[in-house]
Structure 1
Amino acid sequence: MKFLKWILIVFAVLGILFFFVVSPYMRTQTKKHSPEQTVTYDKNGLDLSVNYSSPSKKDRIIFGELVPYDVVWRTGANEPTTFSTKTDIKIEGKNLPAGTYSLWTRPSRQSWSVIFNKNIPTWGVSILSGGKETTRIIEEDLIEVEIPTEQTSETIENFTIDFDMQHELYMLMSWDRTLVKVPISK
């Protein structure tokens, strides 16, 4: 009985150390390689922001290898990417109420599924899966849209999200030689 008590104490101490020491250290280290970025759009009655971590290509094959095709991706690195809007908007014609959402994608060769989810987990992938499974709660998906991909003329070294206003507003996601333009309207 005394032995079991000591084992429980040891596991409790290890859990506390992991939560307060190892986990914050790991987050700090991973952000050195995939720095946090925030992009905003505040015009035409819209107030939007996206917070994400921006990994680098580093001579790797990105889509189809590092980011597998037809598998949900946390859309960046580290914590899940978040998308915030202060007003109700439409994404590809589908209603997205004002709020903050986690943003997930499912890249394929010709298009990406772009998913806005009501739940924002603390980390984008599960540690127990070795980073192969996301922490997305499927039942919390609010909208999902299919967006065709475009090829870029030059290689983009860092995963980038930005806003671009041409004849309509787009949220752009680009990396390697791939560009996705998500239409946003009121």
Structure 2
Amino acid sequence: MKNTKLFLLAFALVAATSFSAFAQLQSPAASPAASVSQVVGFTKISIDYSSPAVKGRKIFGEIEKYGVTWRAGANAQTVIEFSTPISVGGKNLRAGKYSIFMTPAESGEWTVHLNSKAASVFTYMKDGKIDEEAVAKDDAVSFKVAPTAGNTERLQYHISAENNKVAKVTMAWEKYVVSFMVDTQVDQKLEQFKSQF
């Protein structure tokens, strides 16, 4: 009898603990957080973003309108960080964090914006959409890139080291692949180092 009571008490405790843990379990995020990093030359390049899925929807041209600036991800802003000064889009940028925005085009080139404030995307919201003038005002650099065709269910960023001096940063989602090159200025940094001696 005593053993039966102990067994029932132990069972009740296990059941209560399991129920409590299950009650705290939340559904997975629809657009889970993701990150990618790569060292190229002397520079570590990192990207933090959220990764939404297509889920049978028409993304570009419908959910993300052509000609309208987009946060290049989901949830919070997409942030790229450079550990040393670099050059991108024909402009030198300091080491640090930059928000990535993109303006998709139905045909022709997209505009990539690297925003100097790395501010919350909601800083730029106006009437439920991104205020393009406010984004452009804070651009450290913006430049045009020609997308290529793709087929990617879940938004992804990739960084490749190319010749270990220039990095290729790629965003792929739905039917588009958008890439841009980042010059990590290896030769200039070597020259600066040599000039110190």
> Which of 90, 114, 120 is residue 87 of structure 2 equivalent to?
90
Partner of 1:26: none
1:11-39, CA deviations, whole angstroms, 9 ceiling, x for partnerless residues?
xxxxxxxxxxxxxxxxxx89801111111
Deviation, structure 1 residue 42: 1.3
Q: How does 1:141-180 map to 2 (within 5 A)?
A: 141-152=139-150, 155-167=151-163, 168-180=166-178
Instruction: State the one-letter code of the partner of 1:159.
Output: L
Question: Structure 2 vs 1, CA of residues 85 and 40 (structure 1 numbering), >3 Å: closer, same or farther?
Answer: same
The answer to whether the 8 Å contact 1:38/1:52 transfers is: yes
TM-score by length of 2: 0.71
Residues of 2 paired with 1:30 and 1:105: CA distance? 29
Question: Structure 2 vs 1, CA of residues 115 and 126 (structure 1 numbering), >3 Å: closer, same or farther?
Answer: closer
Partner of 2:103: 106
Structure with greater Cα Rg: 2
Unaligned 5+ runs, structure 1: 1-28
Instruction: State the one-letter code of the partner of 1:160.
Output: Q
1:51-109, CA deviations, whole angstroms, 9 ceiling, x for partnerless residues?
11111000011111111101110110011111100111111322121111111110112
- 1:50 corresponds to 2:60: no
Residues of 2 paired with 1:175 and 1:91: CA distance? 22
Partner of 1:20: none
Deviation, structure 1 residue 43: 3.3
Instruction: State the one-letter code of the partner of 2:143.
Output: V
The answer to whether the 8 Å contact 1:30/1:78 transfers is: no
The answer to whether the 8 Å contact 2:53/2:153 transfers is: yes
Q: Secondary structure at the match of 1:32?
A: coil
Deviation, structure 1 residue 111: 1.8
Residues of 2 paired with 1:88 and 1:60: CA distance? 39
Partner of 1:117: 115
The answer to whether the 8 Å contact 1:33/1:55 transfers is: yes
Residues of 1 paired with 2:126 and 2:89: CA distance? 35
Deviation, structure 1 residue 44: 1.7
Residues of 1 paired with 2:175 and 2:161: CA distance? 21
Q: CA RMSD in A?
A: 2.4
Residues of 2 paired with 1:141 and 1:184: CA distance? 16
TM-score by length of 1: 0.75
Q: Aligned residues: percent identity?
A: 28
Partner of 2:181: 183
Unaligned 5+ runs, structure 2: 1-25, 186-197
